[in-house]
Amino acid sequence: MEKKYDVFGIGNALLDCVYMVEDKFLEDNKIEKGLMTLVDEKKQKSIIEKIKSYDSFIQSGGSVTNSVYTLSQLGGSGYVSVLVSDDDFGKIYLSDLKNSNVATAGSSFTTGKGMTGTCLVLTTPDAERTMNTCLSISSNFSIKNINLDDLKYAKYLYIEGYLVTSEIAMDAINECIQFAIRNDVKIALTFSDLSMVKYFKENFKSILKRKVDILFCNEDEAKTFSGYDSVNKSIDYLKNFTSNLVITQGDKGSLIINEDEIIKIDPHNVKAIDTVGAGDAFAGSFLYGITNGYSQKKSGDLASLLSSKVVSKIGPRIEKEEINSIKNFFK
């Protein structure tokens, strides 16, 4: 079967609201620094009220959407399955996907009644990002929002780790995995956030009982999931669950581990302003590379350079023109 999409992503649709704040703001509002915390609509509105005078910008987000956006801007063919409301935020979200050449299913799959999910991305001067996420309608994301007829035309199913908080989303993940296996679609998973690994490890183990083709994580997530303080021991443990392991290590670069070798990817030394979206950009770039004829080493080098550009600015994305200049460098 001819594959129409390089990557078919499933994840939470969140409108990202990005703010620069001081550490004191987090302390005063009892927000745990460096983690993603799920909050209800009342809590989210109270924080927005306190922060509304701060400089900010808004764009469609969510981990898997940011990754597929990057892949699409590099020239790949990306698709996301998400759930938004028919409110103004939902319209902004779907319009942004269309303008970014990211495919999605029709409104009968993607739109419902309620409030579109939001993510307050609070970035401190040390470039650490802290996220308060209100899933709203995204908490209802289920297999009903996924067009399996489109999934069978994808090279990869890409699963966002944030979905493990929801029982109905877990059911959707498992059904998509079974469908992907039957239809020759490879499977990639990202842990997404340290808090997901800390609090939902068993759900990840449930997904990983079927070995995935690629697992993305950072060093802290790898150590937390494995229970080892050693990177090497964590690698040995995680290799039981995936054919290809990609571990990002911040300013130390990254590692790509396959069944034959460990590939070291050098970092690009930049002044980090905002780490939001760096892992998403890395995964999207890497997936673009391996689905478009690049070696794992070349895919990793592309991902390292592009993600370094993301951390050197505010927000989880860079513009298409700069992405194209990076891509042309690798031709």
Beta-sheet strand order (sheet of 102-103): 102-103, 78-81, 5-10, 154-160, 186-190, 212-218, 242-248, 254-257, 262-265
Q: Where are the domains of the chain?
A: 5-13+61-111+140-329
Burial class (CB in 10 A: 0-12, 13-18, 19+), 327: buried
- What's the average model confidence in pLDDT over 60-74? 93
Where on the phi/psi map is residue 239: left (φ > 0), alpha (ψ -120 to 50), or beta? alpha
Nearest to 176 by CA among 142, 203, 204, 202: 142
The residue ranking higher by pLDDT, 76 or 321, is: 76
CB 192 within 8 A of CB 162: yes
Considering the domain 5-13+61-111+140-329, what is its CATH architecture? Answer: 3-Layer(aba) Sandwich (3.40)
Cα–Cα distance between 253 and 267 in angstroms, integer? 4
Mean pLDDT of 146-175: 97
| Rounded-to-integer distance, Cα 272 and Cα 158, Å | 27
Average pLDDT, the chain: 91
The answer on pLDDT for 274 being more than 70 is no
Cα(102)–Cα(8) distance, integer angstroms: 10
Condensed to tens digits (0 to 9), the pLDDT of residues 172-193 reads 999 999 999 999 999 999 999 9
Which residues are CB-contacts of 278 (< 8 A; sequence separation ≥ 6)?
248, 307, 310, 311, 316
- State how far the Cα of 195 lies from the Cα of 201, in Å rounded to an integer: 10
The CA dihedral of 314, 222, 290, 138, to the nearest 10 degrees, is -60
pLDDT at 59 (0 to 100): 81
Helix (H) or strand (E) holding 328: helix 320-329
Half-sphere exposure of residue 85, counting CA atoms within 13 Å on the CB side?
Answer: 15
Confidence of residue 272 (pLDDT cuts 50, 70, 90): low
Other beta carbons within 10 Å of 253: 15
Task: Provide the β-strand partners of residue 81.
Answer: 10
Can you spell out the DSSP letters for 97-111?
HHHTTEE---HHHHE
- Average pLDDT over every residue of 124-151: 93
CA-closest candidate to residue 96, choices 130, 129, 73: 73
CA distance 214 to 259: 12
In the block, tokens 């993603």 appear at: 36
Q: Is the pTM of this model over 0.85?
A: yes
Q: Is the pLDDT of residue 311 over 70?
A: no
Residue 146 · residue 115 · CB < 8 Å = no
Distance separating alpha carbons of residues 164 and 241, to the nearest angstrom: 17
Contacts 24+ apart (CB under 8 A), 226-232: 231/255
Query: Among 254, 158, 248, which residue's Cα sits nearest to residue 194?
Result: 248
Q: Please give the average per-residue pLDDT across 193-214, as a whole number.
A: 96
- C-alpha 43/C-alpha 227 separation (Å) is 33
